[in-house]
Amino acid sequence: MINQRMYELGNEPSAIRELFAYGLSRKAEIGAENVFDFSLGNPSVAAPDAVKKAALELLEKPSQEVHGYTPAQGAPGVRAAIAASLNRRFDTSYTADNLYMTVGAAASISIAINAIVTPGDEFIVIAPYFPEYRVWIENAGGICVEAPARMGSFQLDIEALEDALTERTKAVIVNSPNNPTGAVYPECDLVELANTLRRKQDEYGHPIYLISDEPYREIVYGDTKVAFIPTLFENTLVCYSYSKSLSLPGERIGYVLVPPAAADAAKVYAAVCGAGRALGYVCAPTLFQHVIEKCVDEPCDVASYQENRDALYAGLTKLGYECVAPQGAFYLWMRALEPDAKAFTERAKGHELLVVPSDSFGVQGWVRIGYCVERSVIDGALPAFAALMHEYQAPTL
Ligand code: PLP
């Protein structure tokens, strides 16, 4: 006998993975330049030169220093460097002891959930949402409760969220800048959310945590501001990763921040260490911990994402598609031309357009277009989107 749930998870078709695999085989058949693959969130911008330089310098050091184990929660030096960087940027006073190094945001969120869950606790996610949230919540023994975002803008709908809160609510997961919608939550809405959570905490007599999933924190456009949520709501656990900001998704490096102002902070931090231990997420890759220590203030290069966003948004809206103007991350959220988003994405495939149906993110009728691609993919795709629109407009015979 094996673990049936794990078997099902491993065997379950993921729309994104399937689409990506389809894209690879289609590219082999008709040439990569003829397939417009918007399926994945793999950064198209190269990692900064500073990362390469730091890695090369580190590789000259004695093997133990760069390939040996660090403490389970990460090397003190990198945790101190991250704390100092956050303090400079957000006027906080964190220390190394508030941070736990992880293998990316996936591990950070899984650890945060496991650290605070008790059986039957509810975790609220805002639909549309990153699909793995449900997997991580349920695997930890929690219950995933969906609260809708505001339809159209995909901003926070505080009333809907309030309706979803119960005395079993342990945490709310927010993700701004957002995958899949590109929305960035303004500070005023987050303040309203914080006030609502405080009111409910008083009513229920226990803390409600905000798990802030922030892999896209630095990827924003124009004058969009990303609020630093722990300064607005004390019970925030930050789950960060360098996968997107420094284009290092394969290096698996990120952290959990437990701010000292959070309820039961010392206990929560100990539980984070315990969850890391229980899940086997100890000692994040040593080489890349040290790279981060050296590159902690390295700026994120958003220029080409911004160019892609501008070209794609302008091109698609000109063709008549309804799109949410992305304020951050590198995804564009577009209404499908029929209610069944899966059927729409199948028809899009006929034009070699690979976009992800919104069903994967818990809502109907939209698609996600990941524009972390070469500019040529966007330029090539726009005529295909025009043909797709034309196909829907043409009278059926
Ligand atoms: N959260 C969101 C919203 C994401 O988009 C991703 C990755 O795409 C993750 C978490 C996982 O990030 P990581 O690759 O750092 O584990």
Q: Which residues contact 264 (CB under 8 A, 6 or more apart)?
A: 207
Ligand 1: atom nearest CA of 103 is 16
Of 244, 248, 372, which is best to mutate to test ligand 1, by the most ligand atoms within 8 angstroms of its C-beta? 244
- CA-to-CA distance for 244 and 262, rounded, in angstroms? 27
Position 394 confidence tier, pLDDT thresholds 50, 70, 90: confident
What pLDDT score was predicted for residue 396? 62
Helix (H) or strand (E) holding 144: strand 143-148
Largest CA distance in the chain: 72
For atom 12 of ligand 1, the residue with the nearest CA is: 105
Q: Is the CB of 178 under 6 A from ligand 1?
A: no
Q: Which residues contact 61 (CB under 8 A, 6 or more apart)?
A: none
- CA-to-CA distance for 350 and 327, rounded, in angstroms? 30
Q: For residue 211, how far is its CA from the centre of ligand 1 (angstroms)?
A: 13
Say if CB 193 and CB 158 are below 8 A apart.
yes
Q: Which two tokens stand for residue 339?
A: 């209610």
Q: What angle do CA 26, 43, 286 make, to 5 degrees?
A: 120
Region 77-102: mean pLDDT is 98
Return phi, psi of residue 3, to 5°: -75, 110
What pLDDT score was predicted for residue 17? 85
For atom 5 of ligand 1, the residue with the nearest CA is: 179
Least confident of 12-26, 59-73, 75-89, 104-118: 12-26
End-to-end CA distance of the chain: 54
| pLDDT over 70, % of the chain | 99
What pLDDT score was predicted for residue 15? 83
3-state secondary structure of 324: strand
Would you say the C-alpha torsion 36, 251, 45, 133 has a positive or negative sign?
positive
Region 125-135: mean pLDDT is 97
Residue 61 has pLDDT above 70, yes or no: yes
Q: What angle in degrees, to the nearest 10, is found between the helix axes of 104-116 and 132-139? A: 40
3-state secondary structure of 300: coil
Q: For residue 105, how far is its CA from the centre of ligand 1 (angstroms)?
A: 5
Long-range contacts of 389-395 (CB under 8 A, 24+ apart): 389/319, 389/320, 389/321, 389/337, 391/347, 391/350, 391/351, 392/337, 392/338, 392/347
Cis? peptide before 299, omega within 30° of 0: no
Q: Is the CB of 58 under 6 A from ligand 1?
A: no
pLDDT tens-digit series, residues 141-175: 999 999 999 999 999 999 999 999 999 999 999 99
Q: For residue 348, how far is its CA from the centre of ligand 1 (angstroms)?
A: 26
Ligand 1: atom nearest CA of 329 is 5
Of 185, 241, 252, which is best to mutate to test ligand 1, by the most ligand atoms within 8 angstroms of its C-beta? 241
Q: Which residues contact 388 (CB under 8 A, 6 or more apart)?
A: 337, 347, 348, 350, 351, 353
Place of tokens 């689409």: 19
Region 124-129: mean pLDDT is 98
What pLDDT score was predicted for residue 380? 97
- Which residues on adjacent β-strands are paired with residue 324? 333
Return phi, psi of residue 285, to 5°: -50, 120
Return phi, psi of residue 342, to 5°: -65, -45
Residue 395 has pLDDT above 80, yes or no: no
- CA-to-CA distance for 269 and 275, rounded, in angstroms? 10
Neighbours of 219 (CB within 10 A): 26
Residue 13 or residue 53, greater confidence: 53
Ligand 1: atom nearest CA of 108 is 16
Say if CB 154 and CB 106 are below 8 A apart.
no
Residue 397 has pLDDT above 60, yes or no: no
Mean pLDDT of the chain: 97
3-state secondary structure of 125: strand
Position 184 confidence tier, pLDDT thresholds 50, 70, 90: very high
Residue 13 has pLDDT above 90, yes or no: no
Q: Which two tokens stand for residue 316?
A: 């698609």
pLDDT tens-digit series, residues 256-289: 999 999 999 999 999 999 999 999 999 999 999 9
Q: Is the CB of 360 under 6 A from ligand 1?
A: no
Task: Cite the DSSP H helix spans in 12-167.
Answer: 15-30, 49-59, 63-67, 76-90, 104-116, 132-139, 158-164
pLDDT tens-digit series, residues 214-240: 999 999 999 999 999 999 999 999 999
- CA-to-CA distance for 314 and 324, rounded, in angstroms? 11
- Which residues on adjacent β-strands are paired with residue 335? 366
Q: Is the CB of 247 under 6 A from ligand 1?
A: no
Position 338 confidence tier, pLDDT thresholds 50, 70, 90: very high
